[in-house]
Amino acid sequence: MLKLTKKADYSLIALRHLALTGEKAASAKEIGDTYQIPLPILSKVLQKLSKAGFLTSVQGTNGGYKLARDPHLLSVLEVIRAVDGPVILTSCFTHNKCDQSGSCTVKEPLRKVHEAILRLLECISISALTKDDPLPPAPPSGSGSGLGSPSILNILPS
């Protein structure tokens, strides 16, 4: 089963939030409170996104993070790869041999599925995640446990 890690999910949520806020910086606390993401995990994710060149850090009282690149030119695939590493549908794509390699009838069809998934993720920009879906209201401070935080599946365009 192909599944995003929480870090990839949180990365896409944070980048989407920053795309919606435009040029205004948003703090980790603001993003965490808005989407009920635990601050320690979100802080690590935002630091990783900064190191990967997706975000810039803004110092000061109104500081936080801003997008370092145009959200139209930032693909979901490159974010997932930066956070999680390569997207792999099945281990036979990373290993030349497996127990079934001589008699496997699904390796090539699965490779086509894998390539189609990669193309789809490459075609979806962070900007596309913002369409027809306004920012949710921030919950009261301190109420976020991280449980029930939105899944990226809830914000992908239909």
Q: Which domain CATH number covers 77? A: 1.10.10.10
pTM of the prediction?
0.77
Q: Is the pLDDT assigned to residue 18 strictly greater than 90? A: yes
Contacts of 68 (CB under 8 A, 6+ apart): 50, 53, 54, 55, 56
3-state secondary structure of 76: helix
Question: Does a structural domain hold residue 76?
Answer: yes
Q: Give the distance, in angstroms, between the CA of residue 98 and the centroid of all CA atoms in the same chain.
A: 31
Q: Is the pLDDT assigned to residue 142 strictly greater than 60? A: no
Tokens of 46: 């935002």
Contacts of 75 (CB under 8 A, 6+ apart): 121, 122, 123, 124, 125, 126
Q: Is the pLDDT assigned to residue 20 strictly greater than 90? A: yes
Burial 126-146 (b: 16+ CB within 10 A, else e): bbbbbeeeeeeebeeeeebeb
Count the domains in the chain: 1
Q: Is the pLDDT assigned to residue 140 strictly greater than 60? A: no
Q: Give the distance, in angstroms, between the CA of residue 138 and the centroid of all CA atoms in the same chain.
A: 20
Question: Does a structural domain hold residue 116?
Answer: no
3-state secondary structure of 58: strand
3-state secondary structure of 45: helix
Contacts of 158 (CB under 8 A, 6+ apart): none
Q: What residue numbers bound the domain in which 66 lies?
A: 6-85+125-133
Question: Does a structural domain hold residue 38?
Answer: yes
pLDDT tens digits, one per residue of 36-95: 999 999 999 999 999 999 999 999 888 899 999 999 999 999 999 999 988 887 777 666
